[in-house]
Amino acid sequence: MIDKKKIDSMSTKILLIEDDPTCADTIQDRIYRELPDICITHYITLIDAVNDIESHPQRYYTLIILNLNLPDVQGIDRLYAADAHVNILAIANINRPTAYKEAIRCGIRTH
């Protein structure tokens, strides 16, 4: 459950990087159910998300939700370099230790 008192949903922006439409819809629906006014930007590829961050440095994301199973997930270091202050929540339905190690090496603190 989300503590709504601690979140200003009008200023909170979430970047969702997920290539599976069903998963993306489920994640967004769950967040909107708790925080209907929150702003979620969705990209299918990591490179598109990084390009967005790099081309709009004034846009501040509070949280990035990243699927570690993306085909282009090797660009995590570029994502973290583009927005090093942001919290990144890594999600995956895989058992690929190298992906987790790469994510942690690039700055993701937990997964």
- pLDDT tens column, 19-70: 999 999 999 999 999 999 899 999 999 889 888 888 887 778 888 898 877 7
Band of pLDDT at residue 11, cut at 50, 70 and 90: confident
Instruction: Give residue 111's pLDDT.
Output: 45
Element (H, E) at 99: helix 97-105
Q: Which of 70, 74, 59 is nearest to 106 (CA)?
A: 74
In this prediction, residues 79-85 reach a mean pLDDT of 69
Instruction: Give residue 21's pLDDT.
Output: 94
What's the chain's average pLDDT? 78
The residue among 108 and 89 whose pLDDT is bigger is 89
Instruction: Give residue 41's pLDDT.
Output: 95
pTM over cut 0.85:
no
Instruction: Give residue 97's pLDDT.
Output: 65
In the predicted structure, residue 105 carries a pLDDT above the cut 90: no
Concatenating the DSSP letter of every residue in 9-63 gives TTT-EEEEE-S-HHHHHHHHHHHHHH-TT-EEEEESSHHHHHHHHHH-TT---SE
